[in-house]
Structure 1
C-alpha cells in the first residue's frame, strides 16, 4: 500500500509472496518489511537474503518477534510498532490471535513506513498530512460505525447489498487496487466469504465469463416453493467499483455498461476527491467496518 500511496514517483517494487529477493537487489536497495505478527518464516528468510545481497533492511514488527530479532541481528533498522490502547479494558491479546482482526495493526505498520519514505525524500507525506489522515479515519469511524443508522452509514448499506452476493471487486488506480486486494482478504478472514478482485480495464475481460455463468443474476429465477428459512438464496454476483474521484480514468463507463448488459447489480462507494492518502483512508475504513458487519450478520444466522 505504501508504494500505491506514493504514486508513480516512488521507485519501489512490491514483492509477491515468493520469499525471495530479485536477483538485481544490491547495496543500493532498501528492503521494507511490515508484519503485524513478526512470525512469518518467509520474511525472516528475506531479511537473511537482503543481508547476503548487502541491501539495507527496515521493518515494522512487534518487538521480540523472530522478524524483529532477525533485523536486529543483521544490523537493520526496526521502526516503532505502536498500537493504540484507547478504550481497551486490558492489553491486546497475542499477535497471532488478533493480527488480522485488529485494523489498528494495519495503520501501525503503514504510518511508520510512510514517515520513513518522507524522511528519505521519496514521498512528500508531511507530518501535518498524517495528522489530517488520523482525523479523517476518526470521521470515517463515526460515519461507518455501529451507532450510525443504515441509511446514513455507507458500510452498513453496502453490507446489506452484499449479504447474499459474491462480490466482484473492480478497481481503477493504484490505491483502489491495493484496497480491493485487502478488501477481498478481509472478507475471507473475518466473514469467511469469497470475493474476486481485479483491476480495470482487465476485469472487463477476465470476469466477463462470470457475468453470464452460474452466479449471474440473469441465471437465477426465484423458486416460489423454496423454504426461505431452511434454503438460503443462492449467491449472485454484485460488482463493487472502487476508484479515486480524480476525473482522469475512463473504464468506469464500460464497467457500468457491461453490468447493465448482464443485469448484474453494481455498487460504487462514494470516492474521495482528495489525494491518495485520503482515498486510501476512506476506502479502507469502509472495508474494515463492512467485513465486520457481514461477519456479525453471518454469526447471527448460524
Structure 2
C-alpha cells in the first residue's frame, strides 16, 4: 500500500474507494447530535433525577461506544461532585452497588463485555441506563429491569455513530445537575460539526481542506498525539483509535503533563531521525498536539517547551486548537476534524475505511 496524496482530490476515487460511505457517516455528525438529543428526551432520561444523585457513575462500553464515557467525564470536568468511571471490561468493580448508576453503551446492543456489565448491575440493584440499538440484548436487559433505555438509530460501525451514543449521556448528566447542557448547547455543537463538514467536504481541495491537510501531515509517519487538557486528551485518544480502525494505521496517544515524563524521550530516538536524502527512509514520528483553551498554566509551559524541544531536534510537528466555548463544543471540533483526517488517510492509502476484518476475525475466533 503506497501513499498517493493525489487521490484525495479525485472525486470519483473518493466515491469508489469508500463504498460503505464513511465520509458520509462523518458528515452526518451534526444530524446525529440532534437525533441523539431528541431520542434521549423522548426516552425520558430526565427520570434519573427523581431517584436522587447516585454515589458514583460507571460508564461501560467498548471501542467506538466506550469513548462516550470518556467524553462525559471530560465534559463534566474536575468539578464533578461524584466519581465518573469509564469501564472497558467484562467485570463491574466490586465496590459498585445499589446506590450507584451504571450506564451501558453499545452501538449494536450486543457487545459481550457491556452486556455482561449491565447484567451484573441489575443483579446488584444498581440504577441502569442503557444506550444502544433498538431490539437488542441490552434493551431486553434494561426492559426486564424496568430501567431507562435510549434506543438510538445506529447504522454501520459504532465508531461512526459517536454522537448518537454520547449525547444521551450528556443529557443524563444535565438531568443529574453534573453540568449545564440544554437544547441550545446541542444545537451549537451540531452547527460546529456542520461547519467542519463544510470545510472538510470531499470537493474541497487539499490545500484549503483541514481534514485532507491533517491526513497529509500524518501520512508516512508514526503519529504521537498529545492532548493538553482532559477535553483535548479525549480527542487525542479518539484520533488515535480512528487512525487504527479507519486507516488501519498505528498511532500513539498521550496526555500532558504525563507525556513529558516518558514519550518526550522519543525525540532523541531512532524514529526521530528524518534522512531526506535516503532512498528508502523509514517512517519517523510526528508530534501532533491538540490544544485547548482550558489548559493548566504549568501544562501550557510544558506544551510550549515540548514543542520547542521537538523542533530543535527536527521532529515534525502539527498543532491543532479546539474551537468553541463549552467543553462539548471544543471537543466536537477536534473529534470532527480527526474523524475526517483518519478517513482521508485511509483513502490516500487506497484502504476502505469501514471494514475492520481483523476485529471481526478475532471475535469469530473467540466465539468458536
TM normalised by structure 2 equals 0.71
Answering whether residue 313 of structure 2 is matched by residue 262 of structure 1, we say yes
Alpha-carbon distance between aligned partners in 1 of 2:126 and 2:174, rounded to the nearest angstrom: 20
Alpha-carbon distance between aligned partners in 2 of 1:6 and 1:144, rounded to the nearest angstrom: 29
Give 1:5 shift.
1.2
Give 3-state SS (helix, strand or coil) of 2:174's partner: helix
Give SS of 2:84's match. coil
Aligned to 2:96: 25
Say whether residues 1:126 and 2:177 are aligned partners: no
Provide closer, same or farther for how the CA distance between residues 184 and 238 of structure 1 changes in structure 2, counting only shifts above 3 A: same
Of 35, 38, 45, 2:106 maps to 35
Partner of 1:299: 350
Contact 1:4 1:175 in 2 (8 A): yes
Distance 1:109 1:156 in 2: 26
Moved segments of 4+, more than 3 Å? 246-249
Give the alignment's Cα RMSD to 1 decimal.
2.0
Are 1:69 and 2:120 an aligned pair? no
Are positions 1:280 and 2:280 aligned together?
A: no
- Do the aligned residues in 2 keep the contact of 1:166 with 1:236 (CA within 8 Å)? yes
**Greater mean alpha carbon deviation, residues 200-209 or residues 128-137:** 200-209
Structure 1 residue 213, shift from structure 2 partner: 2.0
> Structure 2 regions of 5+ residues with no counterpart?
1-70, 353-368
Match of 1:222 in 2: 277
Q: What's the CA shift for 1:108?
A: 0.3
Shift of 1:273: 4.8
The number of equivalent residue pairs is 278
Structure 1: runs of 5 or more not aligned: 84-91
Paired position in structure 2 for 1:240: 288
The question of whether the paired residues in 2 share the 8 Å contact of 1:80 and 1:112 is answered with no
Q: Which has the higher contact order (CA 8 A, sep 6+)?
A: 2
Taking structure 1 as the reference length, the TM-score comes to: 0.86
More helix by share: 2
Distance in 2 between the 1:125 and 1:273 partners? 14
Shift of 1:172: 1.4
How far, CA to CA, are the matches of 1:205 and 1:185 in structure 2? 22
**CA-CA distance at 1:193 after TM superposition:** 0.4
